[in-house]
Structure 1
């Protein structure tokens, strides 16, 4: 299967016209080709020269995330360099074209999803404004740069697996499944500054999985402590052993904190 990127001009146009195209994002009918023909831009994508084995995503809800992450990662593993894997032109094309059917089922924009922002400003927005935000988040990189890769509908599948794939484990996807099956953990980790640090993310998940008894408050405290440790430790320079030791130390501190 050939892999295409959306042309930058087409991408810019789509991003600028989200509000105008909102009804199209609410429909399950594919509309990209006709849309760009009407804009005199029938060739709105280009061949990257990358080829992957044919694959098909599973339609459904959150219960499909783990299997789909494996499918996408297996297809693209060793095919993308870091620049390509960070390029919205790839993920926007896949979301709007290659995997439109999947996107229209998994991320219905008129239904609140489990990762909607819950801040006070979000609560003041109209239903239409919230739908526009969901399109920008799920089809583009509408979130902050750190979170965008794990919020965009197709990029999140690849990056969730990339960050958690452990080739030293008999089951290299053990922590991918754990990551995607625990919504509190997924949301809490991806909002942190170290979210794209594979070594630290993997060490964090390994430590959390050792402690299924933790409350949501405990988990958030542990992750907050890890984030704060970046003030005295250069987290990006930690090797797997050092990252594991840091996580063990911080977890010990969390477990020893009494409740009043």
Structure 2
């Protein structure tokens, strides 16, 4: 069955009334699909999920991001990037079909701070507040589709192999997709493949892994300041990253000596 979208006037109404509706984001039942005085809220579309949008609920520290990326991307495999920027689609899904998941994954009631902070949290994860790639990666459901779209590779034995690498650490997704280098498919693939092949050299603690991944991303992004990254081959990128990893993975004593010299 084709999926109805929210009409844009309804999206604007919901977005403009987050303060008044803040408590409702903790309710178990969906509420956002009801008319608000501005006529019908639903817009018929030709989008039809290829698989049911039955997302897995987070379980403690297991956020189920990989599993749900496969579900959302698999539900809309032919969605175009233009369609995937439509706030009418993602606002509908965050407030209707994926409501139970959103309440669990992006639970407003567990946020600390004043109401203004909670309102920003709702706007960031339940809506798309700006037409920017970064904001698409903040929306609770859009982010899942984009993770799949940017990493899915049907030529691999496991088409979501690189998706698993991307989502193995939140820092990887942030460092890669929120930098300019993440916009180049070949660079994105080479970076994730390098992390996959060198997982054992990224460190044993979460802090060590985070610092090394950031250093790798920074080195490649800086290279893009004077070289067209699109012109680099996968081998070129692997060499750049390998050289950087050999530096950041040195024992601190050696690293200090090298710095002094």
Query: Which residue matches 2:205?
Result: none
Q: Secondary structure, in 3 states, of the residue corresponding to 1:20?
A: helix
Deviation at 1:6, TM superposition (A): 1.6
Residue 137 (str. 1) matches residue 124 (str. 2): yes
Q: How does 1:72-87 map to 2 (within 5 A)?
A: 72-78=72-78, 80-87=79-86
Q: TM-score, normalised by structure 1?
A: 0.84
Q: Aligned pair in 2 of structure 1 residues 15, 243: CA closer, same or farther (>3 Å)?
A: farther
Which residue number corresponds to residue 211 of structure 1? 198
Once the 2 structures are TM-superposed, how far is the Cα of residue 196 of structure 1 from its aligned partner? Answer: 4.0
Query: Is the 2:55–2:68 contact (alpha carbons within 8 Å) kept by the matching residues of 1?
Result: yes
Q: Does structure 2 retain, via aligned residues, the 8 Å contact 1:163–1:197?
A: no
Bigger radius of gyration, 1 or 2? 2
1:44 aligns with 2:41: yes
How many pairs does the alignment contain?
240
For the structure 1 residues 17 and 246, does the alpha-carbon distance in structure 2 shift closer, same or farther, using more than 3 Å as the test?
farther
Q: Secondary structure at the match of 2:33?
A: helix
Q: What is the Cα deviation at residue 144 of structure 1? A: 7.8
1:98-123, CA deviations, whole angstroms, 9 ceiling, x for partnerless residues? 211111111101335xxxxxxxxxxx
Equivalent position SS for 1:170: coil
Q: 1:1-260 residue pairs with structure 2 within 5 A? A: 1-34=1-34, 37=35, 39-41=36-38, 43-55=40-52, 56-61=54-59, 62-78=62-78, 80-112=79-111, 126-142=113-129, 145-212=132-199, 213-214=201-202, 215=208, 216-235=210-229, 237-238=230-231, 242-257=232-247, 258=250, 259-260=255-256
Shift of 1:69: 0.7
**Residues 1:129 and 1:46: Cα distance change in structure 2 (over 3 Å):** same
Cα distance in 2 between the residues matched to 1:141 and 1:195: 20
Gaps of 5+ in 2: 203-207, 257-261
**In 2, distance between residues paired with 1:8 and 1:27?**
24
- Name stretches of at least 5 consecutive residues in structure 1 with no aligned partner: 113-124
- Provide the alpha-carbon RMSD of the alignment: 2.1
Check the 8 A contact 2:50/2:74 in 1, yes or no: no
Query: Which residue pairs with 1:116 in the alignment?
Result: none
Deviations 1:23-68 (A, max 9, x none): 111222211133xx3x213521211122233411112254311111
Contact 1:72 1:158 in 2 (8 A): yes
**For residues 131 and 236 of structure 2, what CA distance do their matches in structure 1 show?**
27
Q: Matched residues in 2 for 1:139 and 1:128: separation?
A: 16
Q: What per-residue deviation string (whole Å, max 9, x for no partner) do you get for residues 178-199 of structure 1?
A: 2112122122223313334433
